[in-house]
Each structure stands twice: as C-alpha cells, then as structure tokens.
A and B are shown apart, each in its own frame.
Chain A
Amino acid sequence: MSEVLEGVEKAEAEAVQIREKAQSQVEEIQRDAERKARGIEQIVRTQLTKEIEALQKSVESKAKNKSQRILLKADEEAVSLEEQGTKNIKKTVDIIIKGVYAFGGGGK
C-alpha cells in the first residue's frame, strides 16, 4: 500500500512541476506579447514617418519646380517692363514735366 501512495505522491509532484512549467511558459508568452505590443506603435510610427517624409520630399520638389517657373516668368516680365519703359520714357518725362508746369497754371 505504501508503494501505491508513494507512486501517487510522485505523480502529484510531477503534475505540480508540469503546471509550474506551464505557468512559467504562460508568463513568458504574456511578457513577449506585452513587449511586442509596446513596440508596435513605434513600428507603425516609423513606417508612417518614412511615408510622410517621402510625401514631403515630393511636395517640396514640385513646389521648387513651380517656384522656379514663377521666378523665371517674373524675370521675363521684368525684362519686358525694362524694354517697354525704355521705349516709353520720353513720353513719360513729357507727362511729368507737363504736370509740374501745371502747378504754375500753364502746360507745355
């Protein structure tokens, strides 16, 4: 009879070990999952950051190209102004002189 009891005690001791080992595995699984969960936001943030940086580069590149076109157009316009102004300056000086003489009640 004592052999039977001994065998049962041994089996119960083994069962305890099995449960303890399982519990230990459960805790390890939980820790892993929590660690992974904590890291997920950073992973998602990194992916989004890369995507947004690419977007920003593209937007800025397009904007710079457009800016260059705007400035080139302004340069052309400034040249056109210079040409027109040079051509019409004598007529304009006449208007100014006439305007000054008008203060004395006369024209020219």
Chain B
Amino acid sequence: MSASSTAADVIQKTIVDEAKAEAKRMIAEAEVSARQLTEEATENAKTNLTGWADRRRQMAQASGDRIIGKARNDAHMKILTAKARIINDAIEQARKRFEKERGTAQYKVFLKNLIISASIQIGGGDVVVSARKEDQAIISKITGLATAISKVAGESAKVSIGKKPLEMIGGVFIQNKEGNITVDYRVETLLAQVEQQKRNEIAKTLFPKIEKTETGKE
C-alpha cells in the first residue's frame, strides 16, 4: 500500500464519518423535536378540552337535576289533583244536598233574604226576580218583600217575577227594571263564591294533617 493511497483512504473515511455523524445528529434532533411536538399537542389538547369537558360534566349534572325537577313537579301535580278531586267532590255533595233542601222552610227564608239583599244592592225600585219554575211558586207566596226592601233602600219598591223560569240549582237572579243592574244569587254562583272565599278553611277541614308535607320534597 502506497503512502498516497493511505492518505486517500483517511480522507475518504473522514468524509463518510462526518456525513454519518451529521446524519445521526439530524435524526437525534428530529426525535427531540418530535417528542416536544407530541408533548405540546397533549398539553394543548388538555387545555382545549378543559372547557368542553367541564361543560359536558355540567350538562350531565343538569340532566339529573332535570329528572328530579320533573319528578317534583309531577309529585306536586299528583297532590294538587288529589286535593282538587276531593274538594270538587265536597262541592258536588253540597250541590246535591242543596237540591234536597229546596222544599224546606229554611230554603224559603233563604230565597226571601236573597231577594231582599239583592234588591237593596240594586237600590230598590222595580226589581225583576228570575228563578226556577218551582221556586217562582214559592216566591209568589212570600209576603212583605217590597216593604222590607223600601225600608232599607229608602224608596218604594216593587218586586215582580220574571216570566221565563231559569234552569239552575236554586237561588235567584235579580235585575232592575231596565235590566242594566243585575245581582247573581244563583246557588251555583254562590257555591263557586264559597269555594273561593273559604278555600283555606275547606282545605284545612278536609286535610288537617297534610299542610306541611304536601310539597313532595325530600
């Protein structure tokens, strides 16, 4: 082997070795860079998804709240419906009992008092009383109506019975002669008024033990 060929071998080896070393460095740097990219992407993904995940978790919790809220509403409705059914039953029974009482002396007094009270509200004068056909006969026999009315109203009064009988449970419907002032004392109207006015008393009487536990809440 000559000296020149040995030197040439060294140069060649150096050129190749340098290339290999550079290649190794390039790949190592690329791998570091790749790791950094992956780590950054993971961090970014976590950051980006934090808000999204929190919202999804809140929505999951809210879906539970909605289910419970609906159950509470349904429970409340069940209780209200049960109460309404019983109150309606009581009103219906009261109506039936009233129908049975229409032939009594107390009912006659009741009609008389209704007519006097309503006529005074109208202010006396000529009043027309509408009633059931059966009650028209009772009213026609009541005496002293005009006197009782004029005594309180302060002017003369005349009570006449409307020609057309009304279909109703009982009571009277009264208007002045002109027909522009009316007082509705029909029993169905009075029952509705009693239901409104005595709502609390009726509820407390029907359900004395329930008042504090009816919300359905746990």
Q: Is the interface of A mostly helix, strand, loop or mixed?
A: helix
* Residues in A lying within 8 Å of B, measured CB to CB: 1, 3-4, 7-8, 10-12, 14-16, 18-19, 21-23, 25-26, 29-30, 32-34, 36-38, 40-41, 43-45, 48-49, 52, 55-56, 59-60, 62-64, 66-71, 73-75, 77-78, 80-82, 84-86, 88-89, 91-93, 95-97, 99-101, 103-106, 108
Residues of chain B within 8 A (CB-CB) of A3 are 4-5, 8
- Return the chain A residue nearest B18 by Cβ: A15
Partner of B15, one of A11, A26, A59: A11
Flag if A71 contacts B60 (CB, 8 Å).
no
* Residues in B lying within 8 Å of A, measured CB to CB: 4-5, 7-9, 11-13, 15-16, 18-20, 22-24, 26-27, 29-31, 33-35, 37-38, 40-42, 44-46, 48-49, 52-53, 56-57, 59-61, 63-65, 67-68, 70-72, 74-76, 78-79, 81-83, 86, 89-91, 93-94, 97-98, 101, 106, 109-114, 116-117, 185, 187, 190-191, 193-195, 197-198, 201-202, 205-210, 213-214, 216-218
Given A4-B8, A34-B37, A45-B45, 14 other A-B contacts at CB below 8 A? A1-B4, A18-B23, A22-B27, A25-B23, A26-B26, A38-B41, A48-B56, A60-B63, A70-B217, A81-B79, A93-B90, A99-B194, A99-B197, A103-B190
Flag if B218 contacts A66 (CB, 8 Å).
yes
Flag if B23 contacts A19 (CB, 8 Å).
yes
Flag if B86 contacts A19 (CB, 8 Å).
no
Provide the bound-state CA to CA distance between A78 and B72, in Å. 14
Flag if B45 contacts A92 (CB, 8 Å).
no
Provide the bound-state CA to CA distance between A61 and B176, in Å. 67
- Return the chain A residue nearest B72 by Cβ: A70
Residues of chain A within 8 A (CB-CB) of B193 are 103
Flag if A29 contacts B34 (CB, 8 Å).
yes
Flag if A104 contacts B110 (CB, 8 Å).
yes
Residues of chain A within 8 A (CB-CB) of B201 are 95
Residues of chain B within 8 A (CB-CB) of A66 are 68, 71, 218
